[in-house]
Amino acid sequence: MTTLLEQAIDQLRKCSPAEQDTIAALILEEIADDTRWEEAFAASQPEIKQLAEKVRAKIRSGQARDMRIEDL
């Protein structure tokens, strides 16, 4: 456990049980969100690779062109 996390837990010990549960729920929710994001990102890699290859093919064939902000 990191020093910072130990400090946070020491501070949490001073809180009421209800406050401790609220903060614990927030931490667990954040960890679950991170896990879902990592899983979604990993699952999207094949599609991202396909899109990147399509773009590379268009660039090679001359179908793509440089754009400037003024072109938008």
Q: What is the pLDDT of residues 37-49, one digit of tens each?
A: 999 999 999 999 9
- CA dihedral (14, 19, 25, 26) positive or negative: negative
Could you tell me what percent of the chain has a pLDDT over 90?
86
- C-beta contacts of 26-30 below 8 A and 24+ residues apart: none
Amino acid of residue 57 = A
User: Which candidate, 39, 41, 5, 40, places its Cα nearest to that of 23?
Assistant: 5
Average of per-residue pLDDT values in the chain: 94
From its phi and psi, is residue 40 left (phi > 0), alpha (psi between -120 and 50) or beta? alpha
| pLDDT(66) > 90 | no
- Domain of 47 in residue numbering reads as 3-71
Give how many domains the chain has, as a whole number. 1
- At residue 71, does pLDDT exceed 80? no
